[in-house]
Amino acid sequence: NFKEDFISDEKYFSIISYKASIEAKHKLEAVDIALQSIPGEYRDGILDMIKKTRHISQDFAHENTWNKWKHIFIANLAKNLNLI
């Protein structure tokens, strides 16, 4: 029956959409928590570096400092996502 199949398909896609929303929320929370582990003045720069929209600004801090905070952010993000 077309109507029953349509309704069951609609419920299925609704459940899939809900699960995707929950997963996306979890990932955003993992990013937010990882960002809290680094000093505020580095947060935007670290995200830009990861997105490759910004190069390291040595006027603000040494390259090693940027790399240290980038490493800490990525490690904490991986832990938050249960990847390590």
Q: DSSP secondary structure string, 27-64? A: HHHHHHHHHTTS-HHHHHHHHHHHTTS----TTTS-HH
Whole-number Cα distances in Å, 30 to 20, 34, 41, 52, 56: 15, 6, 19, 20, 24
The whole-model pTM stands at 0.77
Position 55 pLDDT exceeds 70:
yes
Position 8 pLDDT exceeds 80:
no
Give residue 71's pLDDT band: very low, low, confident or very high (50, 70, 90): very high
pLDDT at 2: 55
Higher per-residue confidence, 16 vs 12: 16
Position 53 pLDDT exceeds 70:
yes
Each residue's pLDDT tens digit, 25-38: 999 999 999 999 99
